[in-house]
Every structure is written in structure tokens, then in C-alpha cells.
Amino acid sequence: MSLPQPKLICRNVWKLFGSGAQEFMASHPAPTLEELSAAGLVGAVRDVNLDVRAGEIFVIMGLSGSGKSTLVRCLSRLIEPTSGEILFNGENLLAASEARMIEIRRHQMGMVFQNFALLPHMTVVANVAFPLEVQGIDRTSREARARQMIELVGLSGKEDFFPRQLSGGQQQRVGIARSLAVEPELWFLDEPFSALDPLIRREMQDEFIRLQSVLKKTIVFITHDFDEAIRLADRIAIMKDGAVVQSGTPDELVLSPATDYVAEFTRNVSKAKVVKVASLMKPAGAGLNGIAINAKATVAEAAPLFAEGNDVLRVQDDAGKTAGALYRSDVVDMMMRG
């Protein structure tokens, strides 16, 4: 099966902070960290290349100061990159006028940040409808759309509440509903759950997974939490000192870390919680029936199904068709190897 086409393409993107950054890049097309430091410049984003496919959750992660938030702001041109190329649906965003970028952000991009940024004097429905008001949509239409989004994120009955009357998790749901009101093609989320306590954060991750199963958005999600990344991501890019040090599926990062830095990130992660059944399954024999497991489930999710003496599980795709067989012996081997 062919992969979806990229919705967003990022090529050789740099963002340098400091005086004379563009002139420096013109004479130093691939500067090292040492050269940047000697020139009094900070390489917040360094030579980043990424493809974000339509309908996937692409997670960009790294420690504080790694450049992940700066990169996502470059992708939406909230910050101007120093050099490079960013294509959205084939259009070069770095060649777009400011008026064109405002139009794209209003109609095709959604953004959710760690700071909920709700308007305190507006009700929930007014907050969610606000981006549509900016677009000039009439009140009846925008409030109807806002109420649909409020129901989608599980806040029915809270439409006339003010932000101060809501919990932190509920406020974040309002922020998510507001960003979805414009029906964005591309959805940016920058550490949206990091300000929440662990229990509410887990609930919001569950809610996010549910929303994506319904909406099938193209998502760029920023986090510093590897557990959160592997739970949500189709693919992950790990950043360090402004550069992407490895990009791939959670399976690839955990099983084949490209650098010691990536290995350190993944050291304490149980492989069984990351590796998908599809990676471990074998061809199914004729007439295989019995208990089934989705190919996208993790090995850890499949393991309890062997508790009642089953030696093999039928692996099925999203359509319910048999895709392969998962054997107890292979799962035991995976669990024993950590």
C-alpha cells in the first residue's frame, strides 16, 4: 500500500538568532555550532529536513532548548526562518506574502499552545467561535459550528461557562475546540498537555487519540515527554541543539537508535509497549480463527490475550481482514528481551 503524500515539506531550514544572520548564512551555507558561536549567532534550528504526511501525527520532541518550539513556529511562519524551504500543499510558504500567510493561518492551520490563551470575558461558545468571527462568518453559523466542536471535545453543557469556571483540562479542551472550529488541514500542537497534572494529562491524551480517530487530521505535535510521543505518534523526530538527530516510527527509534543521545531517550522504554503487532506477526496459516488483535496494537496489549492458553492470535487490519498471525513464543521472546 502506497504511503500518503506529504502535506508539509521542510527542506534545509535554518533559524539563526543574532545580528547579520542572513549575511552569515550566505557565506556559510552549512555552519557548525563552533562557527555560529564564533560569529555571535545562536542556531535555534539547523538544517532541518522533514516530510509530514497527510493524516499522520508527526511528533517533534527534544529537551528544553532543543529547538522544537522554534521549528514549529517557523513551519507556520510565526517566526521567519533564516533560510530554507517550507512547502504546504506544494506552495512555498517562505515566498508567500504576509496577507497570504494570514489567510492560510485563518483557514487552513489550527494551533494549540501550552498557554490556553482563552479570552476571560467570553463564554466557552464565544471563545470557540472567535476564529470564525475573525473570518467574517455570521453569528448564527459560527455559533452552530462552535457548538458542534464543543460537543466533539466532550464539553456539552458548558457552552455558557466562562474560562474561570472550568478546570485546567476543560480549558485545554476549549482551546482544542477553538483550533478545530476553522476545520484546519494542518494542526499544530505545542506541548498542549504539559501544564496539566499527570492524571488529567493522560485523559487528554486519550481524548486526543479519540479525536484523531474521528477527524484524521495532519498533525505536528511538540513534546519533551518520550512516553507521550510514543503513545501518540505515527512518526517521531528527535531534536538536539536545533538539529534533527533521528526521525522514524516509534519502533525504529526504540529498536535502532541512531545515536547515543537517542539511545538515552529510549533506554527505559519497554520495547513491548512500543513495538506494534504488525512488526512481530508472521504469515497466517489457512483457516486461522479465534481471538483477533489489531495489527496496530502494541505487543504489550496483545500479551494478556495469551493468558487463557492461546498459542496464536489472528492479526487483523482496520477492515477486519486477516493480516497475519502472532505467536506466543515470539511475544515471550520480546518480553524477555525487555
DSSP H/E element including 308: none
Q: What is the pLDDT of residues 266-310, one digit of tens each?
A: 888 888 888 889 888 998 877 788 788 999 888 888 888 887 778
Q: How confident is the model at residue 69 (pLDDT cuts 50, 70, 90)?
A: very high
Do 146 and 129 touch, CB atoms closer than 8 A?
A: yes
Q: How close are the terminal C-alpha atoms of the chain, in Å?
A: 31
Q: According to the model, what pLDDT value does residue 311 have? A: 87
Share of the chain above pLDDT 90, in %: 54
Could you tell me which residues come within 8 angstroms of residue 296 by beta carbon, excluding any fewer than 6 positions away? 276, 277, 278, 318
Q: Report how far residue 112's alpha carbon sits from residue 205's, in angstroms, rounded to the nearest whole number.
A: 14
DSSP H/E element including 305: none
Q: Report how far residue 226's alpha carbon sits from residue 269's, in angstroms, rounded to the nearest whole number.
A: 9
Q: According to the model, what pLDDT value does residue 154 have? A: 87
- Cell numbers linked to 298: 502494541
The amino acid occupying position 218 is: T
What is the mean predicted confidence (pLDDT) over 72-98? 94
DSSP state of 234: S
Q: According to the model, what pLDDT value does residue 41 have? A: 94
Rg (CA), the chain: 22
Q: Give the three-class secondary structure for 112.
A: strand
Which one, of 218, 217, 221, lies nearest residue 205 by Cα? Answer: 221
Q: According to the model, what pLDDT value does residue 289 have? A: 80
pTM recorded for the entire structure? 0.85
Q: According to the model, what pLDDT value does residue 308 have? A: 73
Q: What is the pLDDT of residues 231-245, one digit of tens each?
A: 899 999 999 999 999
Q: According to the model, what pLDDT value does residue 337 have? A: 67
Q: What is the dotted CATH code of the domain comprising 273-336? A: 3.10.580.10
Q: What is the pLDDT of residues 154-207, one digit of tens each?
A: 899 999 999 999 988 889 889 889 988 888 899 999 988 887 788 888 888 888
Q: According to the model, what pLDDT value does residue 244 have? A: 97
Check residues 4 and 1 and name the one with the higher pLDDT: 4
How do strand 6-17 and strand 83-88 relate by DSSP bridges?
antiparallel
Q: What are phi and psi of 125, to 5 degrees?
A: -65, -35
- Answer yes or no: is pLDDT of 44 > 60: yes
Q: Report how far residue 35's alpha carbon sits from residue 37's, in angstroms, rounded to the nearest whole number.
A: 5
Sort residue 244 into left (φ over 0), alpha (ψ -120 to 50) or beta. Answer: beta
Do 205 and 172 touch, CB atoms closer than 8 A?
A: no
The amino acid occupying position 277 is: V
Q: According to the model, what pLDDT value does residue 99 have? A: 94
Q: Report how far residue 187's alpha carbon sits from residue 212's, in angstroms, rounded to the nearest whole number.
A: 11
Mean pLDDT of the chain: 90
Q: What is the dotted CATH code of the domain comprising 53-82+97-271? A: 3.40.50.300
